[in-house]
Amino acid sequence: MVNVSTKADSSKTSNAKAGSNTKGKRVFLFKDAYDHFKADRNLMKEMLGGKGAGLAEMTATGVNVPPGMTLLTSLCRDYYDNNQKFPANLFEEIKTELKQIENKLNKTLGDTAKPLLLSIRSGAKFSMPGMMDTILNLGLNDKTVESLAKLTNNPRFAWDSYRRFIQMYSNVVLDLSKDKFEDIIENKKHKLDISLDTELTIENLKELVSEFKQFVKTERHIDFPQNTDDQLLGAVEAVFKSWNNSRAVYYRNLNKIDHNLGTAVNIQAMVFGNFDNNSATGVCFTRNPSNGEKALYGEYLVNAQGEDVVAGTRTPKKISEMAKEMPTVYKELESTALRLEKHYKDMQDIEFTIERGELFLLQTRTGKRTAAAAVKVAVDMTNEKIISETECLTRVEPTQLNQLLLPSFEAENKQKAKKEGRLLATGLNASPGAAIGQIVFDPDQSEKLSSQGRKVILVRVETCPDDIHGIVPAQGVVTMRGGMTSHAAVVARGMGKPCVAGCEAFKVDLDKAQVVVAGKTLKQGDTISIDGSTGEIFLGAIATHDPELSSEFQILLKWADKVRKLRVRTNADTPEDAKLAREFGAEGIGLCRTEHMFMNQDRLPAMQEMIMANSADERKTALTKLLPMQKEDFIGIFKAMKGLPVTIRLLDPPLHEFLPKHDELVEEIATMKAKNIKGAELRQKETLLQKVRELKEANPMMGLRGCRLGLVYPEINKMQVRAIFEAAIAVKKEKIEVLPEIMIPLVGHVNELKVARAELEAVAQEVMQEAKTTIDYKFGTMIEIPRACVTANEIAKHAEFFSFGTNDLTQMTFGYSRDDAEGKFLQRYLEGVDCNGKNEKILTNNPFEVLDQEGVGKLMKIAVEYGLQTRPDLKLGICGEHGGEPSSIIFAHHLGLAYVSCSPYRVPLARLAAAQAMCIAEEKDK
């Protein structure tokens, strides 16, 4: 198995402990499993997997669950640790437990008189919908199919089940393409001039079984297995193998799930939704997973099996229709759903089968939901007294809040598009949100074009788990078939992507890479807009508008603010960003990057004039042009913050970043000479090239930048400090409180800060004396060099605050150049490198995205401890990109920082993550 530790980092320890507690028992009947593991629900999920734990718990609470057994997740690990060999004596243990199921049901696997049929399903600790394999109707062969037909007096049902089993088993165990079997079915229907599977007669189904078996023999040179023990052994091993199939590995990488957890295997007696027209199969949520509304939400199919619903091969009925079609069963489903929700204290995702009017539950698990639904469900359940406010705060993933801050289509623009005839079709509103992009039909193309910066919409007949690498980078998904609980819908909702499913008006032809709809033929590259909230699909792009946040969103953050200790500031360089961040709840600016103010085209010439200056006087002349520009920027920011602290970082990047690139200048000069262009224009370019060469450095990130630049060219930082204080005084005159914090960057030695502060504080005093007023201010530094961390006790003598610049601190600590690392080797470190034939991951997370607590974090801890020893009132914060990453925010809380700072759109995320950090700390203290 791939060696990675991400989610559930404690899994190895607790699993080992659990292994000793099971006293060698590796296979548990549902009825026994709950009693064995009920003391620790987390452990139960680790050992039985989420599905097995749910089946055990439902059985124990009296829910009607078909009997079965679960093989522990540790067996999957054993399988891989033993070079993919089936664990010794495991099959005998399975047969022993199976005997109890056979006795209870008075049926026997492989028996020609009363055959028992089984489903074999995967089930990991963390839900991985559709990523691993399932086999239904196991136990059918040429003899038992006849017995089943006779016992049920329904030969069509028996032969339909047999052809499904051959198709599924051949795909999962024998590795034959399921599409080949679908082709055989389609060819048969074409010859018979029928369109629906249900129109196939008994004889047609028997012919399909023969054709399926012949296909297996042709492709694999073996007869389709008739021995039911062989079938069972092959199916269990196939589920173990599916743990490491490509889509499962991709999904775990995407969701940071530990590759070492392994999957359980659930062996369960079959119940049949395809028995007759009084039978059905379906999936439902106890609340709406798109918007959180408290009502059953889902779909069902009459006379069908579960795979028909999730695979999207037939478009199912809405669950509300069952109230009329099967009223008694619907009432039972409603009451069972309510009981499960109260038991688990969360919204549930339920799979069920109705066999001849009797309701059976096959699975319950915590339902995946959109961000909007997550917030509403958590708040509503709190108001319903099902969970506490503290539990509510932990029910929403902080990163989900970002989805709620994304734009949607403006109603007026949608209406205009409709009048223009641009509404192409309306499908099922499977996952809310707005997306605009170019059509692609192939998941590989989606991945490729998205990596080039293109925005795409993945259009498919239906999606399957193998398409996930194309769904992830796409802006949204459209499917021609499938329902609200199809693969595309579930995956898109989990990722917060818009999805329109079951849009049958979209006639998708994958071979021709086109879709015909509303009399139009659309090709790859054509732009469409999809509204996942309404199911509408439009031709071309539609303008969007900013989101309207729900009352539940505001309530959740209000509760978070009551709990959290860590303050949340924002990284903002313009008044517009500052105002937006305030609206999202920012409590100040933790990083204002002054270099961004010089990048505007109207200011760049003055900045370049300053850089090209040959003397201090020439630089000062150029800087007098920049001073009023900087002052106006700071006035706008101070006004937007209205008395909240504003940390302003003085110029940080090397000067060459404000000049044209070296190679571009060389090429431009060569072209001018080739065209015989001479005179002042050419001399100007050559002078510019000479300056670029003078400023060129072997390693500019560690060269003349930050405080070094300010010490060598002090007039630059002096101009900035004058602009800050003149702006602060101007705003103060308008009766608005101002709290500037001047941050001197890239300090590695105490003397750098000592000298720089002395020079700059003199300017601040001079400006205040000129205006005959005072401003409450602080001087501090950005801690981004390892040496600054280990000498923080000295640096704190001259700093009133430390702000950790974790981006550069990570670069310096690892010795990575971020641009080079991410472009050349970092992805390989994350995916894994070959080590004696095994894939070994070097890093669990990208350290530029998730704070490296073991390395960078230890340096931060040293800096905090040393800094507080010297200055007990030292203000501590973090302003790197990690300030908006949930696990890094939790670390900042534990480290005792006063605040984190992040981009405006991540402020709500940080507020919730800071509250969760407090909840975690309080739980540990209990």
| Rounded CA separation 872/796 (Å) | 10
Taking only the tens place, the pLDDT of each residue in 278-333 is 999 999 999 999 889 999 999 999 888 766 665 555 678 899 999 999 999 999 99
Q: Which residues neighbour 506 within 8 Å (Cβ) at sequence distance 6 or greater?
A: 424, 425, 427, 459, 478, 480, 515, 517, 537
pLDDT tens by residue, 511-558: 899 999 988 999 999 999 999 888 899 999 998 776 778 899 999 999
Bigger pLDDT: 595 vs 918: 918
Distance, CA of 785 to CA of 747 (rounded, Å):
7
The C-alpha atoms of residue 155 and residue 221 are separated, in whole angstroms, by 29
Whole-number Å distance between alpha carbons of 788 and 752 = 11
Determine contact, residues 103/75, Cβ cutoff 8 Å.
no
Instruction: Tell me which of 259, 487, 656, 882 is the catalytic residue.
Output: 487
Q: Looking at the predicted structure, is the pLDDT value of residue 894 above 80? A: yes
pLDDT > 70? residue 182: yes
Mean pLDDT of 232-243: 96
| Phi, psi of 595, deg, nearest 5 | -65, -30
Q: Is the distance from CB of 590 to CB of 647 less than 8 angstroms? A: yes
Token pair 């389609």: residue: 186
Residue 578 has a pLDDT of: 92
**Treating both helix axes as pointing N-terminal to C-terminal, what angle do 714-732 and 750-771 enclose, rounded to 10 degrees?**
40
Q: How far apart are CA 907 and CA 922, in angstroms?
A: 23
Residue 109: the pLDDT is: 96
What is the C-alpha separation between 562 and 545, in angstroms, rounded?
31
Strand order in the sheet with 514-517: 507-509, 514-517, 520-523
Residue 380 has pLDDT above 80, yes or no: yes
Q: Which residue has the higher pLDDT, 609 or 822?
A: 609
State the pLDDT at residue 312. 56
Q: Which residues pair with 360 in a beta bridge?
A: 353
**Residue 375 pLDDT greater than 90, yes or no:** yes
Length of the chain (residues)? 926
Report pLDDT for 718. 95
pLDDT tens-place string over residues 904-917: 888 999 999 999 99
Q: Which string of b and e fits 690-719 if b means at least 16 CB within 10 Å?
A: ebbeebeeeebebeebbbbbbbebbbbbbb
Q: What is the 8-class DSSP label of residue 658?
A: G
Over residues 241-256, mean pLDDT: 88
* Model pLDDT for residues 79-91, shown as the tens digit of each residue: 999 999 999 999 9
Return the half-sphere exposure (C-beta side, CA atoms, 13 A cut-off) of residue 297: 25
Residue 97's pLDDT band, with cuts at 50, 70 and 90, is very high
Residue spans of alpha helices (H) in 345-370: none
Would residue 879 show up in a list of annotated catalytic residues for this protein? yes
Which one is predicted more confidently, 782 or 535?
A: 782
CA distances from 475 to 405, 457, 496, 500, 781 (A): 15, 6, 10, 12, 40
Residue pair 591/649 in contact by the 8 Å Cβ criterion: yes
Residue 406's pLDDT is what? Answer: 67
What gap in Å lies between CA 121 and CA 269, rounded to an integer? 11
pLDDT single digits (tens) 487-513:
677 677 767 688 998 888 899 998 899
Provide the mean pLDDT of the chain: 89
pLDDT score at 152: 83
Inter-CA distances, 542 with 107, 476, 688, Å? 60, 15, 44
Dump pLDDT digits (tens) for 738-767: 999 999 999 999 999 999 999 999 999 999
Mean pLDDT in residue range 223-251: 94
Q: Which two tokens stand for residue 806?
A: 């974790």
Name the strand (E) or helix (H) holding 327: helix 327-344
pLDDT in tens, 393-424: 999 999 888 778 766 787 778 888 988 999 99
pLDDT one-digit tens code per residue, 13-42: 334 333 334 458 999 999 999 999 988 888
The catalytically annotated residue of 499, 879, 902, 919 is 879
Instruction: Compute φ and ψ for 294, nearest 5 degrees.
Output: -85, 90
For residue 308, the model assigns a pLDDT of 65
Mean pLDDT of 799-811: 95
